[in-house]
Structure 1
Amino acid sequence: MFIYNFIKILSIVIIVLLSVAYFTLAERKIMGTIQRRRGPNVVGFQGLMQPLADGLKLFVKESVLPSNANKVLFVIAPMITFGLSLMGWVVIPLGSGLVLADINVGILYLLGISALGVYGIILSGWSSNSKYAFLGALRSAAQMVSYEVSLGFILVCVVLCAGSFNLISIVLAQQHVWYYLPHFPVFVLFFISALAETNRHPFDLPEAEAELVSGYNVEYSAMGFALFFLGEYANMLLMSALTTILFLGGWLPIIDCFPFNWIPGPLWFGLKICFFVILFVVMRACLPRLRYDQLMNLGWKVFLPFSLGWLLFTASILISFNWLPN
């Protein structure tokens, strides 16, 4: 039993790491196309070996420890960030029955993992003993906490409609209509909040090069930097997967008829994730960075009241028409 579970965990880790590696390649190719320049095209056929070459380069480089840093926390911080980004995939169903841990409180588990992700960033900024890293860590912590509140209210809206915290039950509840149709305003809010939660454009204030040199990871090199990098991209894939499960019917086909119902569920799931991945990249290529006060005002004065109001509206509609699931 232990060996079987270990193989399942290892397979998920390998799939996520390969997805992250080629997500970085896809990002560079798409941005190169948008900006009318060549992306990576030298290492391997059309640059397909570039992610492996980048990983090998970071693996063999020397890790530099700042002389005044708290070395234990400095080393542990990227491990926490990377480990938590992988732990979230434990409850993500890739298809019907294809999930490592089918727990009844999958949504709460993901919220807990997301909240713990702040600790890795705070520890990295504080243990570096650098004011630039510390400012970047404080920015990131405030930003993640601010947008997690809105994300939580939006998740409760979906949970009310599905009548379950289980992710598989939420997908199966969308067999007749995907939740992005009745919940379209908060669907858009959820995706924008996911951008802020993962520190991506136009909300990449923690890594503002012009102001903070690089942000919380400024003192990291080699594998320490690589773990932060992998954790960030794994979180983007995780948020894309969660958006797909909550609003786009997970592995369910677009149209439940031939030839669409012959396409495997995991393939549908992957295609929907790719749609959001491309949106993440397009946002980075097209949008300017917000000011920090604009970022916080948007989170607390726009997203929070709207998501709370939509939750009350959803609950009142379900109660008024007696549509609450049993």
Structure 2
Amino acid sequence: MTEFLQTPLGILVLTLVQALLLLVPLLIGVAYLTYAERKVLGAMQLRRGPNVVGPFGLFQPFADAIKMLMKETVIPTGANRLLFLMAPMLTFTLAMIAWAVIPVNDGWAIADINVGILYLFAISSLGVYGIIIAGWASNSKYAFLGALRSAAQMVSYEVSMGFIMVTVLICVGSLNLNDIVNAQKTVWFCIPLFPMFIMFFISTLAETNRSPFDLPEGESEIVAGFFVEYSAMSFALFFLGEYANMILMSAMTTILFLGGWLAPFGIEPFTWLPGPLWFIIKVVAVLFVFLWVRATFPRYRYDQLMRLGWKVFLPGSLLYLVLVAGVLVAMGWLPHAA
């Protein structure tokens, strides 16, 4: 068996098994995140949320999935059929393949590469293409305007997210996600880098087009934005991609600032819980804040969104990066890259 796993075919089989072990729970998590969002919003707005399909409405995600599968995919007249159908597939695929480098425990990653953070940044940057293609291929002015809005928003906040990631990287001296988590055994980075932690979380809200930055879905002016012409499973793929990106951004926040799978500050009563469970607890906590923000804050105006990104977050993250680098050099704490 060991010899077979060392052959090219064995490596392929092992990789496929690892991918399934990761993607199946992830897809179930995405399905139940939609349920959790409706329940949390219901509780915060003093109503019940889904409660008919199954006990406590637990089968609602499966009912929604069956409904989407049974509907007809309508392609608008004049739309580019190939690109119209490719765009949701691209968005969903990118949301899935980004998980290849995410470690849920020490060494538990499908691809434990030394440039994991660059891989994640590259994949998140490619997400813009799916949105632009969807807006253009729909042959609709509203869809195209929504796509341009969304692309500008994502590009704007990726700049400050890049500087925030670099701040974490110079504290660690490595681009490996495993090393970033292990560097937080003494103290989580959310404490010394607290302003960066807040800016990163708000940037993830903008990057995933979530409230209060859900400008692409401005119902009053452009209806549902770039996926206004989509229906059935093509719409569902965009929907799943958005929620998978929420989980991905929560995992990135956990790895960069909340100590990943590490127990809080190594406190003894908490260390008996396994690492993957701590990772899941932290990701769920960040996701809850995603939902809490949606229930609490009104939508930003577009000029306010851009002003926050370019005039507040960009100079703020750059200033804090220089400050952190200066402190590390002055104290002689600058780590050497492995």
Common topology (TM > 0.5): yes
Q: In structure 1, what is the Cα distance between the partners aligned to 2:44 and 2:267?
A: 36
Describe the SS at the equivalent of 1:216. helix
Q: In structure 2, what is the Cα distance between the partners aligned to 1:27 and 1:107?
A: 28
Moved more, 200-209 or 253-262: 253-262
Runs of 4+ in structure 1 off by over 2 angstroms are 255-259
| Alignment deviations for residues 176-213 of structure 1 (CA, whole Å, 9 cap, x no partner) | 01000000001000000000000001100011111111
1:323 correspondence with 2:333 = yes
1:165 correspondence with 2:175 = yes
Q: State the match for 2:3 in structure 1.
A: none
Query: What is the TM-score with the length of structure 2 in the denominator?
Result: 0.95
Residue identity opposite 1:234 in structure 2: A
Q: In structure 2, what is the Cα distance between the partners aligned to 1:17 and 1:183?
A: 32
Q: In structure 1, what is the Cα distance between the partners aligned to 2:213 and 2:268?
A: 42
CA RMSD of aligned residues (A): 0.7
Q: In structure 2, what is the Cα distance between the partners aligned to 1:320 and 1:230?
A: 47
1:40 correspondence with 2:50 = yes
**Contact persistence 2:185–2:266 (CA under 8 A):** no
Q: State the match for 2:19 in structure 1.
A: 9
Q: State the match for 2:105 in structure 1.
A: 95
**Contact persistence 1:94–1:266 (CA under 8 A):** yes
Describe the SS at the equivalent of 2:90. helix
Q: In structure 2, what is the Cα distance between the partners aligned to 1:258 and 1:65?
A: 58
Alignment equivalent of 1:262, drawn from 272, 276, 291: 272
Q: How many residues align?
A: 326
Query: What is the TM-score with the length of structure 1 in the denominator?
Result: 0.99
Q: State the match for 1:205 in structure 2.
A: 215
Residue identity opposite 1:318 in structure 2: L
Q: CA deviation at 1:97?
A: 1.9
Q: In structure 2, what is the Cα distance between the partners aligned to 1:290 and 1:255?
A: 36
Q: In structure 1, what is the Cα distance between the partners aligned to 2:53 and 2:274?
A: 32
1:71 correspondence with 2:81 = yes
**Contact persistence 1:69–1:129 (CA under 8 A):** yes
Identity %: 61
Q: In structure 1, what is the Cα distance between the partners aligned to 2:58 and 2:105?
A: 27
Q: CA deviation at 1:256?
A: 2.3
Alignment equivalent of 1:119, drawn from 125, 129, 145: 129
Alignment equivalent of 2:166, drawn from 156, 169, 174: 156
Q: State the match for 1:131 in structure 2.
A: 141
Residue identity opposite 1:215 in structure 2: G
**Contact persistence 1:150–1:303 (CA under 8 A):** yes
Q: In structure 2, what is the Cα distance between the partners aligned to 1:198 and 1:211?
A: 20
| Alignment deviations for residues 20-39 of structure 1 (CA, whole Å, 9 cap, x no partner) | 00111110000000000011
**Contact persistence 2:134–2:227 (CA under 8 A):** yes
Q: CA deviation at 1:258?
A: 3.6
**Contact persistence 2:187–2:265 (CA under 8 A):** no
Q: In structure 2, what is the Cα distance between the partners aligned to 1:64 and 1:246?
A: 41
Q: State the match for 2:224 in structure 1.
A: 214
Q: CA deviation at 1:257?
A: 4.1
**Contact persistence 1:255–1:261 (CA under 8 A):** no
Alignment of 1:294-305 (within 5 A): 294-305=304-315
Describe the SS at the equivalent of 1:262. coil
Q: State the match for 2:291 in structure 1.
A: 281
Q: State the match for 2:255 in structure 1.
A: 245
Alignment equivalent of 2:33, drawn from 9, 23, 26: 23
Alignment equivalent of 1:271, drawn from 271, 276, 281: 281
Q: CA deviation at 1:132?
A: 0.4
Structure-2 change in CA distance of 1:291 and 1:314 (3 Å): same
Q: CA deviation at 1:255?
A: 4.4
**Contact persistence 1:170–1:246 (CA under 8 A):** yes
Q: In structure 2, what is the Cα distance between the partners aligned to 1:127 and 1:255?
A: 50
